[in-house]
């Protein structure tokens, strides 16, 4: 059994139920788990004479649980900065993102996942919920395994075409990206779970993930959480991701999206809904009652003009007891996989928009980025906080840097002042995957070179092109 001692950390943010902040403490990792946490002298006494495989110097370091990104598209990693930044959600999805997703072959997804894994590790994320692969999820699983990160992934599914096909939606694209009906999608989703769930010694889980909203039928929205429950896993999809989506739903059915999910019997406690920006007061009650989780993606809201602060009700969701986690969404949708940015935005956006400094703030934002993400991923019994017995998914931040000198309240400093460059060392499942900002599991330079090549090919194949691909969409209207 491997033993790693993180010796004499200056600060430990446990994010445990009491939000304990400890100083001058040591953490002992045995194999994949946190075996002990306590004052340095106590831990040294208790483990004197025990053979250690590694001692990590904790002086000038803050130790905390790794971030949990509750909404992410690994496949999007090769399309960074390709689309114009003047797009709203619907043209962004239908005219630009879908052709690019559909142009991803198995090798492209493998490379995109390695690249995303590197960005996550370097910004302190140790676990993510990926919306799923466009191809057999085995390629994604293999890359996740190699890069050493913890993740939930799946086979991305959609089953409903618009009446008029948007630009670049070729027959080949449609065949790759859409299943002919809900049953065909569900059969493949089940196969993905049965084949790959609990890969890499349980570090990689596979869920029944679908895209959600217009590209999925009502049957698929309802059947995905039911199938997930039968398989003992979770599911996730997008819903109420823009006001336009809600207004189209209202015009066609008289109801908003979350209300329709309730009527279809889709709301369950194994479901994570991404965005949920267009939501009505009574719908918050439906989500709370069902125990359905929400992944708020503030970075995407800012870039795609979703209106999180104008129409979003995230503070009300938190007050209703809903688990509201944070997601980076994607390298294209939000621009970055840096959870520290999301945490900062979550802490401050609603203070400003509503001129109420008591809203959300640093302590809640930290929980949203860690333990609440773990809860959304149905993994909070194992990760999301530093507690004895939990898996050792830990990050060490360098406090000997300008953003930490001086600091008094470490949580405030983390949320409002620190940048991801202070993420110094990362452990996932008890294994050191980054030391002194050097990723140890894969060759960064090699992955960057591969990623540049694959990105060029994917964008070429997709057909999207600035100046030619339209900036507005009426798909599914
Ligand atoms: Zn998304």
The answer on 150 and 54 residing in a single domain is: no
The answer on 85 and 14 residing in a single domain is: no
Distance CA 281, CA 64 (A): 35
The answer on 41 and 89 residing in a single domain is: no
Q: Which whole-number Å values give the CA distances from 121 to 16, 88, 304, in the listed order?
A: 22, 30, 26
The answer on 103 and 38 residing in a single domain is: no
CATH code, 249: 3.20.20.140
Question: Domain total for the chain?
Answer: 2
- pLDDT tens, position by position, for the chain (477 residues)? 699 999 999 999 999 999 999 999 999 999 999 999 999 999 999 999 999 999 999 999 999 999 999 999 999 999 999 999 999 999 999 999 999 999 999 999 999 999 999 999 999 999 999 999 999 999 999 999 999 999 999 999 999 999 999 999 999 889 988 999 999 999 999 999 999 999 999 999 999 999 999 999 999 999 999 999 999 999 999 999 999 999 999 999 999 999 999 999 999 999 999 999 999 999 999 999 999 999 999 999 999 999 999 999 999 999 999 999 999 999 999 999 999 999 999 999 999 999 999 999 999 999 999 999 999 999 999 999 999 999 999 999 999 999 999 999 999 999 999 999 999 999 999 999 999 999 999 999 999 999 999 999 999 999 999 899 999 999 998
The answer on 285 and 430 residing in a single domain is: no
The answer on 425 and 314 residing in a single domain is: no
pTM for this prediction? 0.98
The answer on 178 and 45 residing in a single domain is: no
| Residue 453 within a domain | no
| Residue 477 within a domain | no
CATH code, 414: 2.30.40.10
pLDDT of residue 1: 67
Distance 192 CA to ligand 1 centre (A): 20
| Residue 202 within a domain | yes
The answer on 209 and 352 residing in a single domain is: yes
Beta pairing partners, 38 = 26
Distance CA 115, CA 72 (A): 13
| Residue 473 within a domain | no
Distance 212 CA to ligand 1 centre (A): 10
Q: Which whole-number Å values give the CA distances from 453 to 79, 108, 147, in the listed order?
A: 12, 10, 19
The answer on 225 and 285 residing in a single domain is: yes
Distance CA 75, CA 54 (A): 35
The answer on 80 and 58 residing in a single domain is: no
Distance 315 CA to ligand 1 centre (A): 21
| Residue 455 within a domain | no
The answer on 420 and 293 residing in a single domain is: no
pLDDT of residue 176: 85
Q: Which whole-number Å values give the CA distances from 159 to 140, 177, 210, 219, 436, in the listed order?
A: 22, 9, 9, 10, 45
Distance 74 CA to ligand 1 centre (A): 10
| Residue 446 within a domain | no
| Residue 201 within a domain | yes
Distance 5 CA to ligand 1 centre (A): 38
Distance 2 CA to ligand 1 centre (A): 37
| Residue 91 within a domain | yes
Write down which residue in 322, 343, 376 finishes a domain: 376
**Residue list, CB under 5 A from ion ligand 1:** 329
The answer on 278 and 172 residing in a single domain is: yes
Distance 330 CA to ligand 1 centre (A): 7
Distance 238 CA to ligand 1 centre (A): 6
Distance CA 96, CA 88 (A): 11
Residue 437: both structure tokens together:
């900002």
Domain of residue 20: give its range.
3-65+388-439
């Amino acid at each position: 059994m491997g033993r790693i001692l993180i010796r004499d950390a200056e600060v430990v943010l446990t994010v445990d139920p009491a939000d304990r902040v400890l100083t001058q403490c040591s953490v002992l990792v045995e194999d994949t788990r946190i075996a002990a946490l306590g004052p340095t002298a106590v831990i040294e006494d208790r483990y004197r004479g025990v053979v250690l495989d590694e001692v990590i110097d904790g002086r000038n370091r803050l130790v905390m649980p790794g971030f949990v990104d509750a909404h992410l598209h690994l496949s999007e990693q090769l399309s960074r900065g390709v689309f114009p930044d003047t797009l709203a959600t619907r043209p962004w999805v239908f005219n630009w993102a879908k052709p690019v997703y559909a142009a991803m072959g198995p090798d492209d997804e493998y490379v995109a996942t390695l690249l995303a894994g590197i960005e996550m590790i370097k910004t302190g994320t140790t676990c993510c919920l990926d919306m799923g692969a466009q191809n057999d999820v085995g390629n994604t699983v293999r890359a996740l395994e190699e890069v050493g990160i913890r993740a939930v992934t799946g086979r991305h599914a959609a089953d409903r075409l618009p009446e008029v096909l948007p630009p670049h939606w070729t027959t080949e694209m449609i065949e790759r990206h859409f299943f002919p009906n809900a049953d065909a999608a569900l059969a493949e989703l089940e196969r993905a779970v049965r084949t790959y769930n609990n890969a890499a010694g349980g570090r990689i889980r596979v869920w029944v993930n679908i895209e959600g909203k217009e590209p999925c039928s009502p049957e698929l929205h309802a059947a995905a959480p039911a199938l997930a429950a039968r398989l003992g896993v979770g599911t996730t999809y997008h819903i109420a991701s823009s006001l336009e989506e809600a207004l189209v739903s209202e015009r066609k059915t008289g109801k908003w999206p979350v209300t329709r999910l309730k009527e279809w019997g889709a709301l369950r406690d194994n479901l994570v809904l991404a965005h949920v920006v267009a939501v009505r007061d009574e719908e918050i009650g439906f989500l709370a009652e069902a125990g359905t989780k929400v992944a708020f993606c503030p970075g995407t809201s800012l870039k795609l003009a979703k209106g999180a602060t104008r129409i979003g009700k995230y503070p009300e969701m938190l007050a209703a007891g809903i688990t509201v986690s944070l997601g980076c969404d994607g390298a294209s949708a939000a621009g970055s996989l840096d959870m520290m940015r999301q945490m900062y935005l979550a802490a401050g956006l609603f203070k400003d928009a509503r001129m109420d400094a008591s809203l959300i703030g640093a302590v809640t934002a930290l929980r949203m980025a860690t333990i609440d993400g773990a809860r959304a991923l149905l993994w909070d019994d194992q990760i999301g906080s530093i507690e004895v017995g939990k898996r050792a998914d830990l990050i060490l931040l360098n406090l000997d840097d300008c953003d930490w000198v001086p600091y008094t309240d470490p949580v405030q400093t983390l949320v409002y002042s620190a940048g991801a460059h202070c993420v110094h060392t990362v452990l996932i499942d008890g294994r050191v995957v980054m030391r002194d900002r050097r990723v140890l599991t894969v060759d960064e330079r090699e992955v960057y070179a591969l990623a540049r090549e694959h990105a060029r090919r994917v964008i070429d194949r997709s057909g999207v092109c600035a100046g030619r691909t339209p900036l507005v969409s009426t798909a599914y209207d």
